[in-house]
Every structure is written in structure tokens, then in C-alpha cells.
Chains A and B, each alone.
Chain A
Amino acid sequence: MKLTFASLLGVAATLSLTMPLPAHHSFAATYIEDAPPTEIKGTLKSFRIQNPHSYVQIEDEKLTDKEGTPVRWVVEWGAAAQLATQNVNAATLKAGDKVVVTGAPGRNPEDFRLLMRTITRPADGWKWPVGNQTFR
């Protein structure tokens, strides 16, 4: 295929729409991205679609704090617009869903934070990412 100047511009314009939306923080500074992913299983408590990044909160099915209260994980995900292009919207997940998540661990273990790598809902087989979907 011959790449014309006009076609290049078209691709450039499209790319600019799909560029990762920067958070105000640095991913590398916030998460240990080189560490083996942490896997958690639990109940989804909330799914907040927001910018610059969305968040999923999950109550761990096994892990508890010193008082015996289940640990609540917060998992950082893509921006609302990014997820929308990947067929993820506010109706995709609902409170009470049983999910399995893997993610890069946060630098402060006491925060119970993860940077989303994968999420699956075994009940119906729904999963993300599919193919090369990403928000990074």
C-alpha cells in the first residue's frame, strides 16, 4: 500500500485520539511494574468510571485486616473514554460481581492498590483485556 501524505495525517489524527490519557502521577513511581502481578479474588464493591483513570474496588474473599474486616483493594484502570472504546462502560460491572483481578502492586503495600492488568468474571466468562486492549 502506498502511504500518501493525506493518509499519514489521517492516521496521526486517529492516534492522537487513542493516545494514553496521562494521570497526574507517574505509573512507574506509583506501582512496581516489574514485579510479578498480584492476583486477587473477591467481590466487586464499586466501579467508578472517572477521569483521568477509573477505579474498581474489590473486597478480598480471604484476606482480612487485624480486626478481621475483609481487605478492600483499589484497582486503577483506564479513563472513561479509553474504556468506552474497549466496550467497557458503567454497566459492564456491577456491585456484587465475583471477579478475579491481576495487577501490578502499589509501592505502599498498606494501600492495597493495584494497576489493572486483567480482570475476569468467571460467572459468565467476561474478561478484559481482549486482544491488544490496554490503557497504558
Chain B
Amino acid sequence: MKLLHTLPIILSASLLLAQGPAGGRGGAGAPAGPAAAIDFSGMWTGNMQEDSAERGAGPDLVDYAGVPINEAGRLWALSYDPSRLTSRFHQCDGYVAPYSVRAIGNTRVWEERDPKLQKLIAIHWYSQTFEGHRVFWMDGRPHPPAYAPHTWMGFSTGTFVGNTLRVETTHLKQGWLRRNGLPESDQATLVEFFTRHGDHITYTSVINDPVFLTEPSIKTTDFFRQPIDPGGWLFPCDDSEQVTGRAPDQVPNYLFGKHPFLEEHANKYKLPALAMLGGAETMYGEFEAKLKTATVAEARAKTLPAAGPSLTSRAVDPDPKDGNIHVLHVRGNVYMLVGDGGNIVVQTGDEGPFVVDTGSGKLTDKVLAAIKELSPKPIRMIANTSFLPAHTSGNEKLKNAGSDPSVVGTFLALAAPNAGSTASILSHENVVTRMNGSLGAPATPPGSWPIDTFIGDRLRKFHNGDSVELFHTPNAITDGDSFVHFRRADVIVAGDVFTTTQYPFIDTANGGSVQGEINALNAILARTVFEHSGEGGTLVVPGRGYLSDEHEVVEYRDMVAIIRDRVKAMIAGGASLQQVKAARVTADYDTRYGANTGAWTTDMFVEAVYNSLKKK
């Protein structure tokens, strides 16, 4: 068993020695002048002697030493109960690119060239583990906009700097910095340098993560070339029910300050627990002096949020806010329109566009123009995911720009000559009761109200060759929320129940509740299927933010459930709302979602969670 781990290291060393100095074979490592393309094609294996425990069986819990994490990163990791990975939605989570490159296993590299001009278009870097297929675009194309999807591998562009390939990666999913719960956010970016010396590659990576790091995390490793195909390139993964009887809204987590294995790793190596809690200071030699005086009390203090105001989001705003509507092709005949408040979705086809939500009303003419570009036919149907103005303020204009020929010629037309002269608006019944002012919310113009409403759990339509379903999710952010599922395209439009930009807008005055919000996210997850390694497959359009899939919904669900658990525990202990706010129960998520100003602040969210739990 141990031999298996040790032999590759010995062999690696032997191979390194056997092959002589760098650049000794074939001249591949020789600098060829500025911007010369070095060929990295072939099969490579990473040397495992550095961080071998990390890259093989995995690190111990609460070992964050030498990683420049901030408070949010530390608290996120300390809240992480490894049992979370028994959830079927996490079992196949892949590795993010920075982790994948240094993982165990082999890598195959090949070039993609224009067949006529032989220009280098891309370098493919394919890792055996989780089938991590990275594409380094070498043709100068730009990175996608901030509202484009994030993936495990991200989006990479490369350039040659002398004999070094420099790669920049954005659009990564949330993943691991270390496999013991230490997180890397979806806002992280990566810069890498690949330098070939004959049959070796020297590799350096620089991770910048504004959400969880205070300084860049820099790592190096090296690879040696494999002349014989090692095979075994595939990495399928299936999920299954592992822990029976667990309620779907239960997300294993440790409350702040309650990590049961806090000192286990530190004790094992006879080091102060403070050192294991990481932070930039633990990267530098000066910290050695601190080790002599570090106390357990100092370590324990770091397991709780510091007193003071909440921190705010460091995430990029996915909305360009440039006064234009931007169209992103989602899949098949489904498109996402970004720029007018909440995201708008358009499904096109012979029967006329089916539109989900209509935006904040500020750019409705441009929304109409964008829809016209997608389809010359009049809008036939509009669905509202809630009554919230960011999603319904374009209702009247879009409705009037459309028509519903299915109504013309029916008996309805005999009584109402104008029947069918506009598009139909669909929603749950409670959307209308909120929009018409009968429940106290300010009334909107009658022309904006949905007319084709439903009660119960579902409304069904077959439109443009697809089965379209609206699913009501009771008392989530309001009492009238629905998500829309285009079954054939396999695209879910979530509305503000799920966003990538803010804490959920739980509108308790209009029927929202934290438990309903968790249930709604689980209802979405009950309909998603990933394609590979927990990503792709069913696509999810958030109410605001970037096009997502199951993984983003799961992380968001986990967050809401974990914060609920913290607030619930404090309520059980008799805490007041002010005490809950002062405890900074969202501290590990604030650098991603927090706001201290604007329409939806962290305080408002915590208050909504508190109040909806108190109501019970």
C-alpha cells in the first residue's frame, strides 16, 4: 500500500535524473524568441512529492496553515461538516482548475490548429481526474461577459511570453482551495505559467480570490513527460442516496465556534491551533516567533466572527449596467436577456415567443427590440415568476406588443372583440392579489396583471414544441413564486428565489419565509440533472446574475440552510434580533453576497430570517 505511494516518487526522481539537464531533448525547451509557440503536446504526469497528502488521500480537517485566507474563508471552512458531501448534489463535485492541475493522475495535452493556415487556435489540457478538460484559447478571443456560465475548468486564454505559456482563467465555479472544506469562490481568477524544459514542465499558479483570500495564493509544481499512454482517461461519477432518512433541507454544518475537531490536526503535529487556522501571516517566516506564544484562546477567538459591521460583497456585478440589453443563448430555442433589472428569458418558435418575466421597465423598448431580433412573431405568452417589480414592470408593454391567436375565433371573442389582441400573462394567483393591491402592496396598472392564473402546484403549457411548466413554490420569497421549466430545452427559470448576486430577498410582508425559500431551492434541485461531475445538464437562469446550473443552486441552498440553522440556534438560546445581527451570522458569506446599503442589505436578510423563524 505504502509502496504504491512511494514508488512513483522514486521513479519520478529517477526519470528526472535519467533525462539530464533541462532542455536537453529535442530542443523543445529552448527559447525561440518572443511569442514563439512551444509545443506542449503529449502526456504528462505531475510530480507528487510536494503536498502529496493534499493531492492523494487528502488533507486533515482544520489544516489551513500557509493559506492567505481572510475571516470569511476561515469561517466557511470551520462551518464545513464533511458529511455535507454525502448529499447527492455534492457527491460528484469536480475539482476547479487550480486544484485539478495539481491533482493526482495524468494529463494529455494537444494542440488545435486551423487546418488551412496552421495557426494555433487552442491548447487542450485534459486531466484524468474528473475528466478536467481545459481549453487555453490562443487566438486572442475575449473572455465571456460576467453573466456567462461558470464551470469547474473556467474560461482560459493563453499567450506565449518567451518560452513560457501564460494562461489567464476566469468564470470558475466555487470549489476547493483544499479538500478539507477550505473554499475557493466563484470570483477567483487564475494566472498560470507553463515553462517546458525538454521532457519537464515547470508550473506556477497564482490564485486571486477577492472573496476568501487577502493575498494571492501561489503554488508551483512540475510535470514529467510520459512516453507511454497510461490509459484510464475517463472518470465517470454517479450519485446515490448515501445517508438514509436525512431531511432534504438538512445541510450538515458546524455552528460558529463549535467545530468538534478544531485541535485534532494541531495536536497530531504538536503545533499551536492558531497556526492551523491559516491567514497570510502563516505564510511568512516571522510567524515562527508567534508560534512560541500562541494560545488556545487566541485560536478559539478566530473561530468566531469578529465584532463590528458586516463586510460587503467583493463579487463582480454580472449586470453590465450600460443601458443596453444583452442576449445570451442558453440552449436550443431559449435565450437570456440581461440588463433591465431581473433576468428575462425568451423561448422562440413557430407559435411566437414565450417570455418569462419582463424586467424593471426601464429598458422595455430595448427588451422588445431584442425579442424582435430573436423572433419576428408577436409575443404569445408571458410568465411571471413573482409580482416583484424587477420582474413585472415591463408586463403591460410586452403584453400589448404581442397577441394570442389561440383566443381569436373562440367563444371568448364573441363577448370581447379585443380578446387575443395581446399576449397572455401567466402566473400563480397570488401574483395578481399582490399586484392589484388587495393585500396591501401598492397596486400596479390593471393592464400589467396576469390574466391566466393558477392555484395549486403547477400550470402546464405545450408551446413551441416544448413542455413548459410553472411550479408554485409556496412562501419562498413571496407567496406567489413560481419557477418555469422548459422541459425539452431543460432550462429552469428560477426568478428571485435564486440569484448569484445577493442574499435571497425574503419578503416576509408579502408571504416570504426562510423555510419556504429552502423548500423552493430544493424543488428546483428535484428537477435538475447534471451532465458530468456535478455540472452542466439542466441550466438554471437566476432572477439576477449569471447563467447557472445545479451546482450554483446547491451552494445557494446550502448557504440559506446553514444561516437558518445559526439563527434558529440563537433563537433557541433566547437571542434577540439585535443580538443575532451583532453575532454576524452571515460572516462567511458576506464577502460574496453582503450589502450594507441599497434595497436589500445583510441586516434586512437576517431580520427576514429571524422574523420568519419567530413566526413559527
Which A residues form the contact surface with B (CB < 8 A)?
5, 8-13, 15-30, 48, 50-52, 55, 57, 65, 72, 74, 81, 106-108, 111-113, 132, 134, 136
Contact = CB atoms under 8 A, between A and B. Distances in A.
Contacts, number: 140
A134 B260 CA distance: 29
A16 B83 contact: no
Contacts of A74: 86, 242-244
A12 B104 contact: no
B18 to A, nearest CB: 6
Contacts of B60: 26, 28-29
Nearest to A133: B1
Contact of A12 (B85, B130, B226, B245): B226
B11 A24 contact: no
20 contacts: A12-B11, A13-B230, A15-B7, A22-B56, A22-B58, A22-B105, A25-B58, A25-B82, A30-B58, A48-B238, A51-B238, A55-B240, A74-B243, A107-B61, A107-B81, A107-B82, A107-B261, A111-B83, A111-B243, A136-B1
The dominant DSSP class at the B interface is loop
Interface in B58-77: 58-61
Contacts of B59: 26, 28-29
Q: How large is the interface on B (under 10, 10 to 19, 20 to 34, 35 or more residues)?
A: 35 or more
Given A16-B105, A30-B85, A81-B232, 14 more contacts: A8-B18, A15-B4, A24-B93, A25-B58, A26-B58, A26-B60, A29-B181, A30-B83, A50-B238, A51-B237, A51-B238, A52-B237, A111-B83, A111-B243
B249 to A, nearest CB: 16
B8 A12 contact: yes
B242 A30 contact: no
Nearest to B243: A111
Contacts of B261: 107
A117 to B, nearest CB: 12
The 10 closest A-B pairs by CB, nearest first: A26-B58, A16-B230, A108-B83, A26-B179, A50-B238, A30-B82, A29-B180, A13-B228, A29-B61, A27-B57
A80 B228 CA distance: 24
B86 A20 contact: no
A20 B238 contact: no
B339 to A, nearest CB: 36
B252 interface: yes
B237 A19 contact: no
Contacts of B14: 8
B465 to A, nearest CB: 35
A57 B81 CA distance: 22
Nearest to A65: B245
Interface string B174-214: 00000111000000000000000000000000000000000
